[in-house]
Structure 1
């Protein structure tokens, strides 16, 4: 692969801040972010109640505040990348930021109104408008599109019929990192690209959190590959291929703010790990001392390997939330972006790539043309199989006359009767056919009349259109400038000139900012040099100024270290809380398995499981044939049966009903075996005989009971002794029968 333009180029970093939403305004939150579009500075102020340190100031290539428009953002940041892709470079545009800061709005936007379209749909129009404007007949273009997502460290094809199927990430020396079996469609218009994007967006994983009602739970990458073949005057064909990756990253989030639990917590953990791996790669690229870049720590970093430190023109759009309660997240995003702007890429034009599909298409077209030419010259006119005429096969329909033969044993009168009946049926059928033909003719006449009427209307409409076109040409002919040029064409030319002037103005502004930064660095370097002073006072004043400046830098560095430590501690606590939650879920799953899966079955599963190092997960061979996975392929249950049974089992159960092997599992059809009895019947309460005698006497049917013999009973049951002699003295006590 030939290369051009090997000069180093830094990653362009853009910062965009959304406005306060209705929820933040209702909660009384206020904006802590200030932006200066001319200098590219972002100022972040600590909320009230925190430490009284100075605001944080960062400088970037471009900044866009809450009043920025989608069209302006695209024209100044994304359009140069798309233009470079049309020239044969690789380009990447990706949005990064906290969840709910407007990344999907920046990349995709909304279909209506047109002003709200994001970078991806605008890039479609940009590419096909540029291809249409090419007036060189010797240039041919081939545009392909693909759409994938990285969800829970699994790559999924959003344009496939089964979007949940996991794809593998491969790498070779020719094409670098690629996704095996990824669907790629050849597109010929903006509408086809929009349909693919809409179809893939429906398959993308989204979910609701406390910070975003429609939060993206995966990293999405829409890729457009533009191949162009230009035929030189000497007949040599040159192919260039540019690839544009438009990446909508999932937002970084904290469990304490999003309230993620269960599946959402698992998704957030994967998202944060992949974004952390991306940050580690950026830090390693900027450090300069690291000999190893950890691209393989995540599928995302492997996919963006060529975009960070490779053969790609890259633009990073960092999205911010302006509210005071997101101070830590906004500061982390700004530091992240500030490191990324120091990455150096080496973009080059991809000429005559080995994996260009346009070359394959041209070779296939040439082969088919050769076959057609060979087929046209191999046979004579009307000759053999290769001749110019094809054999016309005509299906012949032969009407057979029904002949009624004389049958032995049938009289002539019967034969005549049958003949008359056949003739009558034939006449009736003929009359029906005539009636049907007449109806068809009437319908055809009505359709012909309607067609004539429609043709007359179309003719009158064509005359009206022709008259309108004539008037339009007359008006256009009148719109001629003083120099003889058409005013409409002149307006289009002026519009193109204006766009060129605006692009040149943007380049000059960028150059001015770079010059201002270089001047500031030069001044700082001059302060560090040894100087000669005319007097001790002059030397003291100069060194005092230098000392104050160095002390301010020292205090800023101390504050930065404290912020980094606090941010690290916050992230550590959040990760620990996530680990605790995941550990609780893991223990719950382990307890469920221990309680409901027998140990011998667990041992069988563990013996069949195999560890996949690349996917970092366990796999069980032929798991698709286990359990309910093959229930649809089994035979239907027999009537009055509990489950599907084979023919052998049915026959065996009929021949030997007593064999329990072939019996169903319906407990109502089984004979129960009673267990040995371990209880006895209830016989009531066993009372003391003396007490029982007293109760029976109390329940006697007589009206009065004599208690003369009561002295024989224990005193605890009868204590009537009015004289205190210790006995009843033969007194009688009338006890009435209690009411029943």
Structure 2
């Protein structure tokens, strides 16, 4: 008898039994090897001998497997699966795939920042989707390894109510009750959709380059990738980081620093100080007294040239937490955030660019064999992704007319707290965020990909101008001021500013609001004003912007003034007191009757 098939002693430990079970499955039921995991070993602890005996009854002695009965779903029953019709499905999907015309716009990220439906939109979200190509043995593979998710039509906008839109097509393969193959199509609308033939350079030019320009101007840019594990998130984010390294980021006028952290629940590590492929733990994220976000214990490295930044990025990649899953041998098990800070040496103003690679989402079928630690990780990942979605939705609602008082729960997770500037309505600088939805093309993953698209597509708020909404004009909103009104404000509110007309340079209010902070310093210096005055003007304008964003309106679009709001408050108190008096009188009569 082979040594590996000899009976184990009664006191054999769990590791010995695990090796024996793996060996047995490899010989008698190779497709079941994955069942031997920590969950199984815990379940049968102390009963391994009985388990082994049952397996021999079911599959036969080691090396001599018993033929298994054909299941009801096997081809012999007459019922066919998606895999049986793979060529037919591929033909149907090819027929449904449109030929794509050239894009009619390549400036969505920039244009959204100028959409002033309700004054200046201080935080915008450009929502995109990318489907990766087939990889390795998926190409020409059997079964359900064929592409069922493709780039769909590009729908031109008209500059008005009709928004420019690109669609992702999900072609779910189904075998009908008659046994014939069919596909069920679903369309999902995005700002940009990148097909399997799209390159990282194209994605960088359309989505990340505008964010870099914002960071160099002292503002905030964020790009993050969301999607199923193995769908190409990390590949996309690495490509964008490569584009940034080779961009116009470095100049004699700018100091560039870089940090990289990973987040898993409340545990945060520094990937630039990691040792042995592990991030250094102990980083804390919290709010400072002035409302800004601080990261205690996170190292910040100054980069003088692209080569130094590239070396730091490579070190950060090596320190990310990864683990093998059923769909990806090196799945990211934490959210990784690269933070590039661009400091203007003349004014000291700092802009930030966040490149965030979110941990991969998993469906229940992919995580059923996880051990307790891996399941806990999955729960933390899902909780933070849920918080991120709620923050984007709430921040989008808060930008709509009449939605003053909307709470954005960015303190719910460390990830969204790190991105406070994006979600805080009172933030004093412009923020642009790009959401990149990564999709697997495989028919095997259609259900999970559908959930991914259903998660991200509703986050998109299409760019629309001239919608005809009848809103009462907010006279205190600087984004709606004419040149004359803006000049009047500068003259009256900032008497220490010399020559406000030259400072303004003929700009209307919305253009003044959109200027980066360092431009205020440049214009102030040109008219002989000190830095303190420039800062005063900038903060004054942004105070008005923040107030306008939270101004309350009635359903008909009219503004509720503070006086009217106070009258409503007093009316509610009065009505409450009257009701209390009525109930007190009723209770008095009831007591007298008894």
Pick one of 354, 361, 378 that aligns with 1:268: 378
Which of these two proteins has the greater Rg computed from alpha carbons?
A: 1
* Cα distance change, pair 15–161 in 1 and its aligned pair in 2 (3 A): closer
Alignment of 1:516-555 (within 5 A): none
Pick one of 297, 305, 324 that aligns with 2:412: 297
| 2:410–2:416 CA contact under 8 A, matched in 1 | yes
* Cα distance change, pair 160–249 in 1 and its aligned pair in 2 (3 A): same
Alignment of 1:56-67 (within 5 A): 56-67=186-197
Alignment of 1:189-228 (within 5 A): 189-228=305-344
| 2:150–2:196 CA contact under 8 A, matched in 1 | no
2:446 paired with 1:327: yes
Per-residue CA deviations over 1:229-262 (Å, capped at 9, x if unaligned) read: 34xxxxxxx3432111110111111242243223
| 1:240–1:349 CA contact under 8 A, matched in 2 | no
Structure 2 alignment gaps of length 5 or more: 1-112, 156-165, 464-512, 521-594
Higher relative contact order (CA 8 A, sep 6+): 2
Partner residue, 2:124: 10
* Cα distance change, pair 350–149 in 1 and its aligned pair in 2 (3 A): farther
2:171 paired with 1:45: yes
Partner residue, 1:119: 240
TM-score, normalising length: structure 1: 0.41
Partner residue, 1:280: 390
| In 2, Cα distance between equivalents of 1:348 and 1:218 | 36
* Cα distance change, pair 350–329 in 1 and its aligned pair in 2 (3 A): farther
Partner residue, 1:168: 284
| In 2, Cα distance between equivalents of 1:350 and 1:315 | 22
Deviation at 1:267, TM superposition (A): 1.5
Structure 1 alignment gaps of length 5 or more: 109-117, 133-139, 231-237, 354-740
Partner residue, 2:230: 100
Alignment of 1:361-372 (within 5 A): none
Partner residue, 1:149: 262
| 2:387–2:416 CA contact under 8 A, matched in 1 | yes
Pick one of 443, 449, 458 that aligns with 1:339: 458
Deviation at 1:294, TM superposition (A): 2.1
Per-residue CA deviations over 1:147-187 (Å, capped at 9, x if unaligned) read: 10102431111112563322221112546222113111111
Per-residue CA deviations over 1:652-690 (Å, capped at 9, x if unaligned) read: xxxxxxxxxxxxxxxxxxxxxxxxxxxxxxxxxxxxxxx
Deviation at 1:58, TM superposition (A): 1.8
Specify the SS of the correspondent of 2:248. Answer: helix
* Cα distance change, pair 154–323 in 1 and its aligned pair in 2 (3 A): same
* Cα distance change, pair 286–175 in 1 and its aligned pair in 2 (3 A): closer
Per-residue CA deviations over 1:560-615 (Å, capped at 9, x if unaligned) read: xxxxxxxxxxxxxxxxxxxxxxxxxxxxxxxxxxxxxxxxxxxxxxxxxxxxxxxx
* Cα distance change, pair 37–75 in 1 and its aligned pair in 2 (3 A): farther
TM-score, normalising length: structure 2: 0.51
* Cα distance change, pair 74–351 in 1 and its aligned pair in 2 (3 A): same
* Cα distance change, pair 266–229 in 1 and its aligned pair in 2 (3 A): same
> More helix per residue: 1 or 2?
1
| In 2, Cα distance between equivalents of 1:348 and 1:155 | 35
| In 2, Cα distance between equivalents of 1:308 and 1:20 | 36
* Cα distance change, pair 240–217 in 1 and its aligned pair in 2 (3 A): same
2:193 paired with 1:72: no
Alignment of 1:654-669 (within 5 A): none
| In 1, Cα distance between equivalents of 2:176 and 2:320 | 40
2:366 paired with 1:253: no
* Root mean square deviation, CA, Å: 2.9
* Cα distance change, pair 262–307 in 1 and its aligned pair in 2 (3 A): same
| In 2, Cα distance between equivalents of 1:10 and 1:329 | 27
> More strand per residue: 1 or 2?
2
| 1:144–1:225 CA contact under 8 A, matched in 2 | yes
Partner residue, 1:563: none
| In 1, Cα distance between equivalents of 2:259 and 2:309 | 10
| 1:143–1:188 CA contact under 8 A, matched in 2 | yes
| In 1, Cα distance between equivalents of 2:132 and 2:515 | 34
| 2:131–2:150 CA contact under 8 A, matched in 1 | no
Alignment of 1:442-481 (within 5 A): none
Partner residue, 1:562: none
* Cα distance change, pair 23–266 in 1 and its aligned pair in 2 (3 A): farther
Specify the SS of the correspondent of 1:126. Answer: coil
- Where in structure 1 do 4 or more consecutive aligned residues deviate above 6 Å? 50-53
Alignment of 1:581-660 (within 5 A): none
